[in-house]
Structure formats: structure tokens, C-alpha cells
Amino acid sequence: MPEDVKSPAPPPPPEGEPKPTAEKPAAAAPAAPAKPAAPAKPAGPVPVPWTSPLVEKYRSQYGSGLEAQTYLGQNYLTVDRALIPDILRLLRDEEQFDYCVDVTAVHYPKREKQFDVVWILYSFPRNERMRVKTQIADGASIPSCVSIWATANWLEREVYDMFGIKFDGHPDLKRILLPDGWKGHPLRKDYGILQQDQEWVQINLGIESGQ
């Protein structure tokens, strides 16, 4: 009986509206460079120190190796690479962060230690989220946390695939989304999409890439 759901005169989807939006980007684009200069935007919220019994406990244990901050109500620990396996294990065993939501990385090519590796954790008993971050240099490896959270298996493989970061002790570290023979790690900032495109087009189609 689909008929009885139909409204008697189905009004057409708003037709007048898409048109102005189509023009909007064009109008906004030239205005964009002028804007930030004029109002002198406030820098926005800044990270503030995060204080909690958890942080106090680990700070007394590990000293200056970790820094705890809150940004927009979200807590994160920045930890020395050497402390990573200990901290992650303690967070699960003692602090009940039993669910590893995600493992990911960020590439900062201009920094000496080029990569941030980020673990997003959640605790079911505490209903609390936190992130753990560490910095590592290009080519350095990091201990795998598959033995702590089984879910890290594929997530670490993806980080390896996209950034080339190696995880020590991972049971099966190989590419996950890209084909095995793929060259390079696409989410690095120095990975050129256009070069890749030109190369592929030349090899496979035998023509110059139009990009």
C-alpha cells in the first residue's frame, strides 16, 4: 500500500534554493582571502592542562614522560615513545580502557619526529574517552598493541599501509587496503597524487595524463 503514504500533492524538492548555493561558492571564493585579515579572528580555544586522578597517578610514576591536556573537552595524553607499551597496557588493565576505538597517525613532514601515532580509547565502565599520542621519527617502529586490544590488528595494518609505520610484534603486518605491490604510502604528505596519476596513465594507457 505505498499509495497511502504519498502526500496528495508532493511538493517538488526546493528548486529555488540550489541555485543561490551554486552561486555562493563563486561569490565567496574571491571574498575569502580578504576576510581573515579584516576581523582579526580570535585564535580559538587552546588546550588546557588536564588534571585527574589518572593523570596524577601516571605523572608520579613516569614523571616528565607524559603530558596531559584537554582540548574542547576532549582529553589526551602525549607520551614518550619509550613509555607507550607500558602506558597502554596500564590504561587497559588498571583504568578499564577496555575498548580501543581507533589507531591512526598524522604526518608532519617538517618536524624532526615526523609522525604522531594516535590511539583513541574508550572505557565502558567509566563511559570516558581519551586519546594517547606519541611522536616517532620516520623509519622508526613502534610496539604493536595487538596483544592488548585484538582490534588493533587491522587498524595497525592500515597505519602501516598508509604511512609506512612499522609495528613491532604485529602478527601479520602487511598492506590491507592497497595491493601488495603498491609503491609508497599515500597518506604521507610527501606522496604526490599527480605523479602517481601520470605514471599510471603512461604505463597503462600510453598517453600523457591530462591532470
Partner 1 sequence: MSIRESTNDVSNLDLDTPDKTYLDSNELIINMGPQHPATHGVLRVILKLDGERVLGTECVIGYLHRGVEKIAENRTYTMFNPYVDRMDYVAAVSNGLGYCEAVEKLLNVEAPARAQYIRVILTELNRIASHQLWLGTHALDIGAMTPLFYTFRDREEILKIFERYCGARLTTHAFRIGGCQYETYAGFEKDVNNFLTFFAPKIDEYETLLTTNRIWLERTKNVGVISGEDAIALGVTGPVLRASGVKWDLRKAQPYAAYSKFDFEIPIGENGDTYDRYLVRMAEMRQSMRIIEQAVNSIPEGPIMGKVPKVIKPPVGEIYHSIEAPKGELGYFIVSDGSTQPYRLRVRPPSLVNLQALDIMVRGLLVADVVAVIGTIDIVLGEVDR
Interacting residue ranges for partner 1, rule: CB under 8 A: 1-2, 4-7, 10-11, 13-14, 17-18, 21, 24-25, 28, 31-32, 35-36, 41, 43-45, 47, 71-72, 74, 98-102, 104, 106-107, 118, 120, 124, 127, 129, 131, 149-151, 153-155, 158, 162, 175-179, 186-187, 191, 193
Pick between residue 57 and residue 111 the one whose CB is nearest to partner 1: 111
DSSP state, residue 41? -
Residue 178 or 201: the one with the smaller Cβ distance to partner 1 is 178
Instruction: Between 101 and 201, name the residue whose CB sits nearer to partner 1.
Output: 101
Q: Pull the grid cell for residue 199.
A: 605514471
CB of 59 to partner 1, least distance (A): 22
Q: How far apart are CA 164 and CA 185, in angstroms?
A: 6
Name 79's bridge partners.
Answer: 66
What is the dihedral sign for C-alpha 39, 45, 47, 51? positive
**CB nearer to partner 1: pick between 92 and 143:** 92
Helix, strand or coil for residue 160?
helix
Q: Confirm if 102 and 119 have CB atoms less than 8 A apart.
A: yes
Assess contact for 95 and 123: CB atoms under 8 A. yes
The nearest distance, CB 60 to partner 1, in angstroms, is 27
